[in-house]
């Protein structure tokens, strides 16, 4: 007796094959995830691969996506439903000009110099020292003993254009790369103290302050959907209107942030 179920099974197999072939594939994208904590800006999540990167700023509801060669960025804000595409250099300038992120702008001049290769918590880094010089705009804040030290990770290399936007987004100095740690001390000599013994050291004018610290780094995989640009958002030409979740300088003021808040002296 003929097997009447055979055609049904064959048809089902063909249908499954057709569905499998027509279903869109989401190839896994391997990347590094960095969780960066800033005393001033809150948490920043960096997702970095060779060809694409994403930066999440939860407090602002902000996401930045950039693709190789990393000369353009797309920025969207889920809070205000606004979106903007801009040249990377222009975006970095807007970030820093606002004073939301650490900048060499307006109130201060920051003079950086290399300090050699160092390990911070076992992470190979390039170290830098910086002298913060207050301009004539704030003569009452002038303080020659205003120094910082910054460590950039060397276990992950990124192109300069990508490093610029990563540094700006986490509020790091204008030294491209993945930030590991940023410390604030009263004088240059304080940084000669061994790293592990500095936590309770006080100078005559200031106490050690950890401004930025990378809390974790791990290798993960995501799908292409992770980098999709949302639809239906309002397009804005002014990048600052997207960076700030309520738009304009008013929200910067409401949040208690100003270009000077990063550089206050005790």
On average, the pLDDT of the chain sits at 75
What lies within 8 Å, CB to CB, of 55 at 6+ separation is 44, 45, 46, 47, 63, 64, 65, 165, 166, 169
Burial zone of 53 (CB within 10 Å; 0-12 exposed, 13-18 middle, 19+ buried): buried
Q: Is the pLDDT of residue 141 over 60?
A: no
Quote the pTM value.
0.74
- Neighbour count for residue 258 (Cβ, 10 Å): 15
pLDDT over 70, % of the chain:
63
Q: Are strands 52-57 and 42-48 parallel, antiparallel or unpaired?
A: antiparallel
Token couple for 190: 């304080």
* Interval 84-104: pLDDT, tens: 999 998 888 877 766 443 333
DSSP 140-190: GG--S--EEEEEEESSS---HHHHHHHHHHTT--S--S-EEEEEEESSGGG
Taken in order of first residue, the domains within the chain and their CATH numbers are 29-254 (2.50.20.10)
Q: Is the pLDDT of residue 55 over 60?
A: yes
Q: Is the pLDDT of residue 24 over 80?
A: no
The predicted model gives 15-24 an average pLDDT of 47
Q: Are strands 179-185 and 62-67 parallel, antiparallel or unpaired?
A: unpaired
Least confident of 19-23, 85-89, 175-179: 19-23
Q: What pLDDT does residue 22 have?
A: 47
Residues found in the chain:
266
Q: What pLDDT does residue 140 have?
A: 55
Instruction: Give the whole-angstrom CA distance, residue 265 versus residue 228.
Output: 43
Higher pLDDT, 149 or 99: 149
Count Cα atoms within 13 angstroms, Cβ side, for 159. Answer: 14
Q: Give 3-state DSSP helix, strand, coil % of the chain, rounded to 5.
A: 25, 35, 35
Please answer whether residues 29 and 221 qualify as being in contact, where contact means their C-beta atoms are separated by less than 8 angstroms.
Answer: yes
Please answer whether residues 221 and 32 qualify as being in contact, where contact means their C-beta atoms are separated by less than 8 angstroms.
Answer: no
């Amino acid at each position: 007796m003929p097997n009447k179920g055979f055609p049904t099974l064959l048809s089902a197999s063909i249908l499954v094959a057709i569905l499998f072939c027509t279903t869109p594939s989401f190839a896994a994208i391997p990347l590094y995830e960095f969780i960066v904590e800033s005393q001033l800006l809150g948490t920043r999540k960096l997702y970095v691969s060779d060809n694409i990167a994403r930066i999440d700023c939860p407090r602002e509801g902000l996401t930045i996506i950039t693709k190789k060669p990393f000369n353009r960025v797309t920025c969207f804000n889920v809070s205000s439903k606004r979106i903007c595409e801009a040249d990377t250099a222009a975006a970095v300038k807007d970030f820093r000009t606002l004073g939301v992120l650490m900048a060499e702008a307006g109130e201060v001049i920051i003079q950086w110099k290399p300090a050699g290769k160092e390990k911070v918590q076992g992470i190979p880094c390039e170290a830098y020292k910086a002298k913060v010089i207050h301009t004539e705009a704030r003569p009452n804040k002038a303080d020659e003993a205003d120094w910082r030290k910054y460590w950039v990770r060397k276990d992950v290399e990124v192109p300069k254009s990508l490093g610029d936007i990563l540094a700006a987004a986490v509020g790091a100095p204008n030294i491209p790369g993945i930030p590991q740690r940023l410390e604030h001390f009263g004088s240059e000599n304080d940084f000669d103290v061994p790293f592990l013994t500095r936590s309770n050291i006080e100078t005559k004018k200031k106490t050690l302050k950890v401004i930025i610290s990378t809390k974790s780094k791990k290798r993960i995989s995501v799908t292409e959907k992770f980098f999709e640009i949302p639809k239906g958002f309002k397009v804005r030409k002014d990048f600052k209107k997207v960076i700030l979740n309520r738009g304009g300088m008013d929200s910067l003021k409401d949040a208690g942030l100003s270009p000077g808040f990063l550089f206050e002296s005790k």
